Structure formats: structure tokens, C-alpha cells
Structure 1
Amino acid sequence: MGIAMCWFRKDLRLVDNPAWANACNEGHVIPVFVIEPSIVNVASIRKRELFYSHLLALREQIADLGGDLLIIEGPAQKTLPKLVREYGVESLHFNDDASPSSRARDEQVISLTGLRAIRYWGNLIHVPGAILTKGGSVHKVFTPFYKKWIELEIPSYSKPEEIVFADIGDDPSITFSVNLSSAITPGSLGANQRLDEFLQKIADYKVRRDFPSVDATSHLSSDLHFGTISPRTILEFLDGSLESGEAFIRQLAWRDWYAHLLLASPEIIDSPANPIYKNIKWRNAKDDYAAWKEGQTGYPIVDAGMRELHETGFMHNRVRMIAGSFLVKHLLIDWRLGERHFRHLLLDGDLSQNVGNWQWVAGTGFDAAPYFRIFNPVRQSMKFDKDGEYIRKWVPELSGLKNREIHAPWTVDRISLDRGGVYLGENYPFPLVDHDIARERCLATYKAARDIGC
């Protein structure tokens, strides 16, 4: 038997991992992970810690099988060719990635190693190219994509028939430790626990998922990002005949769609998918951008979300839409700045998902919200955080206000503010901008861009 290398990336699991299964089935296997500083160092400290904990969990899983996960640091273009030569590797197996920079790196690795490389799409349910228009292109609208997506047969799981590890002698892996909260169980074990917990409450998912003070979501987004669980594993447990099951299945389809779109149109990372918006005159006011990042906009629901993000690396999806819309349409700050900030801090900050979501909220993307759809943050707050529970958790300086007051403290009379311990301009800011003024400014700016055209 020859020697096959499984190059782990954003697929830190052994179950339903076609790269791992096929590498095992092809020969004596060498599992390897390359820590690339150019990628790891741009993530937040919290995200790096979570990544390292998942990586150590994978190493323990492989050790339990009698093998070693090689963990090497440095550019993959330099480290992998060296390992290939040293161990006499004959084939390279890895799960593909829609990121243009990752794909360029992969091509370099394949060229430099001269190996037979086998790529898989183990982190998606349906592979790119499986769902196309009659003209052979990726659907630019989600609904027709989803109608085909849901009808396709789900690919079967890949399982190793036998696992025989190659003899690598002294393990050259680097050593490191992590300081992750004990409340988070890392790796596939933790991911499956989170899936089990979600399945216990999924019946209410569709009706409760938009309320940020309610624990109704899956908490699986970062597991999907790091690949500690596969989307097919999740899908296996979902009942599409139930409304909540179908609602979550749609989220998995959106995830596939955004990856397919990025692969087909990599330019959307830095350019509006709809070129009619390429001439938007962004204000990009530095002070406004800083206030948004720090959760000091004067709009409590926006500030709560931004503070949650900085404190936990997570933000409820409904609040992501509100905070994103506020940055782009109230402050007229380029969506690309928001996208990069979110991707840096979010534990689930995935390129294709993040770009797709930000282009959606900016109105510049494929099948995006129309440009004239501008969330009123106060109305959104009153609808989805009626009693102010979420705001009180993350903006405690407003906790003394009554439920009806907390959504727009600048409209509250001075006596009530004093009673609640709120001093606008001192312990909580005045709003950066009036909603009606911001709305008219946004509409005029977008209309001007549309008038210029492509």
C-alpha cells in the first residue's frame, strides 16, 4: 500500500469527511494540519483559541485510533512539499474551499508537490456545479436554486474501510496550549452535543429564532465553519415535513448557495454583485465607524449586538441584519468594512457566508434586499426585543428604563431618564443620526448610484 496524506483544513472531524475516508482507503495514511500564520493571525484571539481547541480535539481523536496528527506551522506551499518528500507521500486528499486565496494556494501546493491530488466538497451538502440554470450558470436567485437543491439526493456518507497509519518516526509537530472556556466542549464531541440540544428545542425554531433574548437557535454555525460537524450529519436529523425543520434546512441551503456563488463569482468579495451599485458614494466617517464597532451608536438594539459580538464572538442573526443595515444605510459606511470587521470577530466568520450576508443587507448582492428596504432599528427593537431583555443584558446602563422606554431613550422625558439613571451624552450617547434623515440620505445616495449605472 502507498502512503496517502489527508490535509485537514476547515474539516476538523473524522465522521463524514470524504478526504479522510478516501485517504484511509487508499493507503497508509498521514493526517496533517498546517497552521498558516497569514490566516490564523488575522482572526480574533477568541476565534484562534476556539480553533486551537478544535484542533487539539481532532488530534486526540486520531491518537485514540493509534495515530498522530502532524501539526506543522508555516505556509502550506513550503511545509507540505517538504513533508511529502520526507515521507514518500503518493497522493494528497483534502476538502475544497470556495475562497479564491485558498484555491490559489492549493494550486501552488499541488504544483510544488507534483502529487496526484484529490479534492472533495465535504463541507457542503451539494457540490458546486450540481445545481445550475439551463444556461449552465449558478442561480443568481435563491428560490429556484433551493427548489432544485431540496430535490437532489443527498450524497452518501464516506467511511474508512480500514485505518492504517504510516510510520512517521519522531513527531515533528509543534506544541501549544489553549485557554478556552470550560463551558465550550470543543471538537466533534461538542458539535454533536450542540446538535442534540438543538434537536430538543427545534419544534419552536421557526417562530422563536428571530428573538435575540430567546435561546432558540442551533449554536452550530461555528462548528460548521471549522468543520467539527458536517452539514449532511445535521441534515440527517432534520424533518423537512415540519415547519421548523424545513426552516433550518433552508439555512443549510443558503450556506451552500453562498459558497457556490463565491466559487463562480470570486469578485464579489470586493465588488458589488450588482454592478449598478459600484458608484455608491460612501461617507465612511471614521468616528461613526468607531462608534458602531464599540456599540456606542445611541441605538440600543444596534449597540447591544455590537457589544455581544465583542464580548462573545457571536451575534444573533436578527441583530446582525439590524446592525449591518444600520452601518450601511444609516451611516453610509461601505459594507466591505463591516464585512471584514464581522469576519475578524465572529467565531463563525466564514468568507462566503459573510460576504453573501453583507451584500444582501447592503442591497448590492444577488437576490438581495431591495436598496429601499431600510430597517428602522427602533421598530425592529420593539418587535423582536419587546421587553428589552436583550438590550438590558448588553447595554446595562439602560436597564433602569421601562420596557417602552428602552428602545429609544432619546425620546424619553428627563424625569424618567433621571429615574432610570440614564444621562444622555454622559453614560449613554445620543443617536449618531436621526432615522428619517438617514433614510432620505440613503435613498438619495443609492438613487444617484443607480442613475450613473454600470
Structure 2
Amino acid sequence: MPADTGAPVLLWFRRDLRLSDNPALTAAVSTGRPVVPVFIRDDEDAGDRAPGGASRWWLHGSLKALAEDLSGRGSRLILRSGNAADAIDDLLKETGAEVVFWNRRYEPWATRRDEAIKTSLKERGIEAKSFNAALLCEPWEIETKDGGPYKVFTPFWKALRGLGDPERPEAAPDGIPAPDAFPKTENLDDWKLLPEKPDWAGGLREAWTPGEKGARERLATFVDEAVMAYADKRNLPAKAGTSRLSPHLHFGEVGPRQIWHAAIAAGMSATGQPTPKGVETFLSEIAWREFSWHLLFHFPTLPEEPLRPEFSDFEWKDDDGGLKAWQQGMTGYPIVDAGMRELWATGWMHNRVRMIVASFLVKDLLVHWREGEVWFWDTLVDADLANNTASWQWVAGSGADAAPYFRVFNPVLQGEKFDPDGEYVRRWVPELKDLPANAVHAPWTAKPMELKEAGIELGRDYPHPIVDHATARKRALERYRRMKDGND
């Protein structure tokens, strides 16, 4: 698209790597000025929250896809790395831009950084404006009757639902005005976001297609084939019952408004009603994501400290061997090991299984929830700070709306209930594939002949359980009781 007159608009892409339903992009194009899209890799500001290995792999693919989409509309994606404030200053000098637009992020370090950048720009007469592309509503827009943040999901969900449907998403612009000359850009390959030796990303490449097009296709498949049965199938890891949209949401390749309206449209098409059971249940899961960001915004120490202060005194256990067995999917509990191996192979894990493996780590092994959270941060392609932290604290019992600490998932019973035929376990723990269904979730209960026919020697082909669950449960409850007694 030919450039119009006027100083350019600097469009700062972040976790909004899409052209549709992108308020900052829409605002930039609506000015009629040339637009300079830029992505700044600023890992330094994130500190120990810089993206993990799986997230870096996804980011490479997402940026590559975004660059292609921008090129198709007459524009270019400019890449810079380093301190974001310095990179923006350089670009303002190089382009003569007088306006900077971006979509908001809500991590504690990001809100501090963004506010400082916005203040600095405005003091120099540069227009700086941010927008909401990531959430259905801002974290400060929903309050309790007392004017504070919510700490329990159900009333939060009722309040969110009471706001009605979010605004309808806007389509991508047909074209994006370009400047007479674009500033220089760094080379994406030089960022070395992809693994080299060893190349552990084969399973990720097989499982995922980063980018807005991949997100759009996955959303369409889900609402066409699975959303109506979501309430019944979402807890079955062997079935295609969940959306698998979480990494696309994390990188902003699709927005919650788009997902919300697509689900409602599917419900209307199928039943004439906007929110039949499957759709309503799915929308409530989108709301859990909102709730997690609500918590992180109002309680910025959530990634490091328990939301419930009494858990500061909990007696966690240093168990390097147990942690390593858990990470490698070698605990001797098949449903746990299947989940951990799925995570390593694909960068993703079914939500029900996430709860099971998390409960096993923090309650059966008594390993601090932060050890699990950090491992997920490095290995998940959807490693979202709010979701990841809030979910681990929920399982540990130290967070908002938390599962009671005395609720300790039994990995055998969970496997039998949600993977009754052992299909999920057989896929990810193939050494157990020939065991009968009545033993696949507890191989140590199999008869000697069944083990022999399956070609399994416990301790050689598959480990014995690293802890006895019944004993571990009693130990966890005793430590919970001591923590409570110490805080009474």
C-alpha cells in the first residue's frame, strides 16, 4: 500500500503476533500514516523469566509467520534485540516516528517497563498509547463488592459473565501503509532460537504449526469437531477433546475475543442456542486464563511466594533423585510418566494430566511447587507466567481457589478413571503397551505371566514406583497438619 504523508507510527509487536483482532495495528493503520512494525527481543528485562527452550522454538516460527503475513500486506517486520527503551529510541531517530502504539502485557516486570517507557515518551512529546489485545477485560475492570480483587474463581466467573459477550474482533487490514524506507533489521536466524545440537524439537515440529494461520486452523477444527462435546471429553487425554489453543493464545496468534465468538457461533449453528453445555464449559476455561492474569496483576509476587502466607512454613523436601525421575517420566506411575514424556516430546500436556503430575511432585514427593513450575516454564510451548504459576499454586494448595491440600490425587485411580483403556499410557509409555487394561496403570499388580507375555521385567524395562502412594499421602497430610498447627 502506498505511504501517506505524515511521520510514521511505530507499531511494537509483543505477545500479539497476529494481524486480525489487533487493536494496536488497527489504530496504527487508522491514522493514515506509514506504519513501521517492530518486534524487540528484550530478554534482559524478563530476568529469570526469559522464554524457555520450547517457547524460543515457538517464537521463531511465530515471528517467521508474522513477517510473511506483513509482507503480504505491503509491510515488513523489523527485528531488534536489547533493551526495549533503547531500541525504541533508536527507531524513533531512524524513522522520524512521532507515535508509538503497542498492546499491553501484564507480567510484573512488563508493566513496570512499559509504564516507564510510556512516561519517558510522553515527556518528550511522543504519543504513546497501549491497547488490550490479550484479555477479555482488563484485570482492574472486575472487582469484588468491597472493591478488591477476586481470589475465588466462581464469583470471578459470574462477574465476568455478567459483563456479557466481549466486543467482536476486527478483521486484519487489507494493507498496511509503508514508509518510503524501512529501518535496518536483524536476522531472525541470528537469534538462534532453534535448538541445534542436539535437535530436540522434532516432536514439536510434528505437533504444531506456529503462526496466525496455524491458530486459525486449530480454532476452526476445534469448534467444528469438539466444542459441543467439550464438557464430556475434556478430561480424557487419549481423546481430541480439548482445543490445544493454549500456545497460540500465549503468543497472541489468536485472541480470546476471537475464540469466544467462534465458540458461541458454533453453539448457535448446532443448537440454535449460543451456549449449550459444551460451549459454556469451554468459555469457563477461557475465564480461568483471565482469572490467572487477574491474580498475577493484583498479586505480583505470585511466581515466587505462596498466596497463602502459611505455606511459607511448609516443610518441602529436597529430592533431586525424585525430581529427576519425574522430569524424565520414570516414576513408575504410568499416567505420570506418560504426561511427562508427552511434555518432553511435544512441549504440551493435557490439562487433566498436568494436575496429576503436579500433585505427584508436590504431594507424593513433597518437592517444592516452584521446581515443577520452572520445569514447565522451560519445556511448555504455552509457558504462560500467570497460568503456570497460578495452576501450580492451585495444586499445591497455596494459591487462590486452591484445591485443599488434603486432596491428593491417586495416580492409579486417576489413570483408571480418565484413561480407562490405557490408550494414552500405551502411546507415551510404549514399554507397557502389551499389558492388559487392568494392569496398565499399576504394572506392579500384573501377574508374572502377564509381565512375561508383555516382555516386561520391572526394574529393568520399566521402573518400580519410586514412592508408595499410600505412604506418601500420609506423609504429606502429616506435614500439612504440622503447618496448620504452627500457624494456629
Question: TM-score band, normalised by the shorter chain?
Answer: over 0.9
Q: Please, which moves more after superposition, 77-86 or 352-361?
A: 77-86
- The partner residue of 2:155 within 144, 153, 171 is 144
Find the residue that maps to 1:72 and give its secondary structure: strand
Structure 2 residue 102 is matched with structure 1 residue 94: yes
**Deviations 1:398-438 (CA, angstroms, capped at 9, x unpaired):** 11211101111112233322222111111211111111111
What's the CA shift for 1:320? 0.3
Structure 2 residue 117 is matched with structure 1 residue 116: no
Equivalenced residues, count: 454
- The partner residue of 2:24 within 19, 26, 29 is 19
Aligned to 1:439: 473
CA contact (8 A) 1:81 1:109 kept: no
CA contact (8 A) 2:207 2:346 kept: no
Structure 2 residue 9 is matched with structure 1 residue 4: yes
Aligned to 1:421: 455
Find the residue that maps to 1:418 and give its secondary structure: helix
**Deviations 1:18-72 (CA, angstroms, capped at 9, x unpaired):** 1111122233221100123446995444432221111111111111111111111
Structure 1: 4+ residue segments shifted above 6 A: 177-180
Find the residue that maps to 2:39 and give its secondary structure: strand
Q: Distance in 2 between matches of 1:345 and 1:421?
A: 31
What's the CA shift for 1:127? 1.3
Q: Distance in 1 between matches of 2:316 and 2:244?
A: 34
What's the CA shift for 1:89? 2.0
Q: Distance in 1 between matches of 2:182 and 2:379?
A: 39
Q: Distance in 2 between matches of 1:247 and 1:42?
A: 33
Find the residue that maps to 1:181 and give its secondary structure: helix
Q: Distance in 2 between matches of 1:7 and 1:227?
A: 13
CA contact (8 A) 2:412 2:442 kept: yes
Q: Distance in 2 between matches of 1:389 and 1:216?
A: 14
Q: Please, which moves more after superposition, 88-97 or 335-344?
A: 88-97
- The partner residue of 1:310 within 339, 344, 364 is 344
**Deviations 1:273-331 (CA, angstroms, capped at 9, x unpaired):** 11121111100211111110000111010000001101110101110000000000000
408 and 161 in structure 1: CA distance in 2 versus 1, 3 angstrom threshold? closer
Aligned to 1:203: 228
Task: Give the unaligned 5+ runs of structure 2.
Answer: 1-5, 195-200, 265-273
What's the CA shift for 1:170? 5.2
Aligned to 2:169: 157
- The partner residue of 1:126 within 131, 134, 137 is 137
Q: Distance in 1 between matches of 2:30 and 2:174?
A: 6
Find the residue that maps to 2:80 and give its secondary structure: strand
443 and 183 in structure 1: CA distance in 2 versus 1, 3 angstrom threshold? closer
What TM-score comes out, normalization by structure 1 length? 0.95
Aligned to 1:167: 180
Aligned to 2:485: 451
Find the residue that maps to 2:130 and give its secondary structure: strand
Task: Give the unaligned 5+ runs of structure 1.
Answer: none
Q: Please, which moves more after superposition, 118-127 or 349-358?
A: 118-127
Q: Please, which moves more after superposition, 97-106 or 174-183?
A: 174-183
Q: Please, which moves more after superposition, 95-104 or 306-315?
A: 95-104
Q: Distance in 2 between matches of 1:183 and 1:390?
A: 16
What's the CA shift for 1:105? 2.6
Q: Please, which moves more after superposition, 175-184 or 142-151?
A: 175-184
Q: Distance in 1 between matches of 2:135 and 2:482?
A: 39
Q: Distance in 2 between matches of 1:349 and 1:453?
A: 33
CA contact (8 A) 2:336 2:356 kept: yes
Q: Please, which moves more after superposition, 285-294 or 16-25?
A: 16-25
Structure 2 residue 232 is matched with structure 1 residue 220: no
Which letter does structure 2 place at the counterpart of 1:258?
A: S
Aligned to 1:103: 111
RMSD: 2.1
CA contact (8 A) 1:25 1:161 kept: no
Q: Please, which moves more after superposition, 308-317 or 94-103?
A: 94-103
What's the CA shift for 1:181? 2.8
Q: Distance in 2 between matches of 1:183 and 1:429?
A: 28
Aligned to 2:256: 231
Which letter does structure 2 place at the counterpart of 1:47?
A: S
What's the CA shift for 1:161? 9.8
Aligned to 2:370: 336
111 and 127 in structure 1: CA distance in 2 versus 1, 3 angstrom threshold? closer
